[in-house]
Structure 1
């Protein structure tokens, strides 16, 4: 490798990080915004169809989570090859990820024709009209799973080659089309709840097709390579275990809040959803970190990757502090937008200081998550998240329930969870063991 490759590029300015993060943010926000439109359209059909979409949407959220895992793993692998100067190899990672996505999507689409009914009944708690309507909606909507997962793989390799603009249009266009089609199919076409599912399938299939077309135009070999696909599966396994630790933590928090009464559960739902919204914004920063760090390490520039990690952590911390300032200023207003119940508002106000405190810590943590995913250090991330959840958050949250500490106890546990992850990430970053240069 030449001297220039070892020296690497000059330090990446913050505007380059933001330039990659902003289009990624639009892509991340497109699907939730479409779900809001879909919910509003179906909501006017009545309580039963709305409940059916809520049940079916929960299952589709899990499928979308699989897509996120696939995209993150693909970004890091593609970015390394792109950084080494081999764009064709970076795109080839996208080909193999797309084979995996297509196979997984077809399996989900076919399997859901059998599993939709039992899943809907399990979520509802019984049979009846809601379960039947949710089953019908889910069987149709699941046909969009191949497109959904193909789009995730496409987002992964395009982010890896530091192209976040094409994914913006590939995702935004189909979702806007679907947002227009949904009310037309539900009402004038007379399809009702089925129309919502059909619009969803059209959007996902078109989106996946656009990403496949982008692969074809790259003129790389499209045949499957089982060895590379297995490596994607290993990355996916570690990221899935990490995600399962998150899910167990958040479900436990909700369960404990529910045992504290309806007002506590309502306040927790408001504050935690606002936190998830800020996490969505920080995920865009993490995606930029994945692409830039992976490319630096692929170019053999471990020193540049370490400098990037520090820069990304700084930007994440600044964003977190900005969110904390905004949350402090809006603390008296935001909860009132979500509830008129004085008891719910009082509970939200009581827990608000923890919501403010978690912002700057989370800003650094989610940025550094992106650094380690870009470096391919996902096994450490998996172990850290499981350890923080099992030894920190879960004992703390259930002790909160045992001693009747209410929402303050729950959110103390959440802050502890994020703080433990920050300590583990900082320790890993100082060790330099994550900054392995070259292409595997």
Structure 2
């Protein structure tokens, strides 16, 4: 019996299984990017002091709570619409998906076909990101009150500083997620992974520069993260 025959039926690595694996593996790795970026910030800020470390932890939690209310639905909707349009387009043309993708003559048609859906998602993402930024900047104090951080707490000021600077990264985050949804709809999960990897590398390098040599503290960590998010978004679009 071959090695292939020893695998369970649901784990058979045939052509379909390999296609699924090639799409799923980069997507899973991309999901680990946000925790890794937060871990890098935490590692650098932790050397400043326990107060700053607690402040960054609180701010990241608040930022994620606000942003994920919109980011995840937009990612899923964009993926679904692009994938559905691709299936309809392939069916209409009556050609195999791989053959259609490999045809140089059809490349421009495919991009033009998906352009309205993708640009709509990106425009919506930009608007939502701007609203998130304004809400986080002007509502940082209220959000701290909601989660129970008193005004006289030593954590309050650095937490608001980090959250305010971090808020400027809301637009590129949601734009990058919309672009990532489009890539997923086209069954390309490697390109977003490369962009995320470069963004995380930029974050780590800038953390090492902003936090200590420039003495920016928690603001430097936030600026490093925001810069890396713009790099990530630009690479995806």
TM-score strictly above 0.5: yes
Matched, 1:167 2:192: yes
Match of 1:77 among 76, 81, 84: 81
Segments of 4+ moved more than 4 angstroms: none
Matching of residue 191 in structure 1 with residue 216 in structure 2: yes
Q: How far has the Cα of 1:126 moved from its partner?
A: 1.3
Structure 1 residue 12: Cα displacement:
6.1
Secondary structure, counterpart of 1:57 in structure 2: helix
Contact 1:70 1:153 in 2 (8 A): yes
Equivalent in the alignment of 1:61 = 64
Give secondary structure in 1 for the equivalent of 2:150.
coil
Match of 2:128 in 1: 104
Alpha-carbon RMSD: 1.6
Work out which of the two has the higher radius of gyration on C-alpha atoms and give 1 or 2. 1
Q: CA deviation at 1:91?
A: 4.0
Q: Distance in 1 between matches of 2:234 and 2:183?
A: 14
Separation (CA, whole Å) in 2 of partners of 1:125 and 1:190? 25
Q: Give the C-alpha shift of residue 16 in structure 1.
A: 0.7
Structure 1 residue 19 and structure 2 residue 22: aligned? Answer: yes
Alignment partners' CA distance in 2, 1:192 and 1:95: 37
Task: Decide whether the 8 Å contact of 1:91 with 1:157 is kept in 2.
Answer: no
CA contact (8 A) 1:124 1:131 kept: no
Deviation by residue 1:233-282 (Cα, 9 ceiling, x = unmatched): xxxxxxxxxxxxxxxxxxxxxxxxxxxxxxxxxxxxxxxxxxxxxxxxxx
Asked if 1:115 is matched to 2:139, the reply is yes
The separation in 2 between residues aligned to 1:27 and 1:196, in whole angstroms, is 21
* CA shift digits 1:304-340 (9 cap, x unpaired): xxxxxxxxxxxxxxxxxxxxxxxxxxxxxxxxxxxxx
1:39 aligned to 39, 42, 62, which one? Answer: 42
Q: Which whole-Å CA distance do the structure 1 matches of 2:78 and 2:114 have between them?
A: 9
Q: Which consecutive unaligned segments of at least 5 residues does structure 2 have?
A: 1-13, 91-109
Correspondence list, 1:7-406, <5 A = 13-62=16-65, 63-85=67-89, 87=110, 88-128=112-152, 129-212=154-237
Contact 1:90–1:160 (CA under 8 A) maintained in structure 2: no
Which runs of 5 or more structure 1 residues have no equivalent in the other structure? Answer: 1-10, 213-440
Distance 1:182 1:134 in 2: 17
Q: TM-score, normalised by structure 2?
A: 0.80
TM-score by length of 1: 0.44
Say which SS state the counterpart of residue 215 (structure 2) adopts.
coil
Aligned equivalents of 1:200 and 1:167: distance in 2?
A: 17
Q: Residue 100 of structure 2 aligns with which residue?
A: none
What secondary structure, in the 3-state scheme, does the structure 1 residue paired with 2:193 have? helix
The CA distance in 2 between the partners of 1:183 and 1:15, in whole Å, is 39
Aligned match of 2:8:
none
Maintained 8 Å contact 2:37/2:225: no
Deviation of 1:35 (Å): 0.8
Structure with more contact order per residue of length (Cα contacts < 8 Å, sep ≥ 6)? 2
Tell me if the contact between 1:137 and 1:194 (Cα under 8 Å) persists in the aligned partners.
Answer: yes
Distance (whole Å) between structure 2 residues aligned to residue 41 and residue 121 of structure 1: 26
Q: Residues of 2 paired with 1:157 and 1:69: CA distance?
A: 13
- For residues 153 and 16 of structure 1, the distance between their equivalents in structure 2, rounded to whole angstroms, comes to 23
Question: 1:89: Cα distance to partner?
Answer: 3.1
1:139: how far off? 0.6
String of CA shifts for 1:186-213, please: whole Å, max 9, x gaps.
Answer: 011111111011011101112122223x
Q: How many residues align?
A: 202
Q: Distance in 1 between matches of 2:228 and 2:132?
A: 17
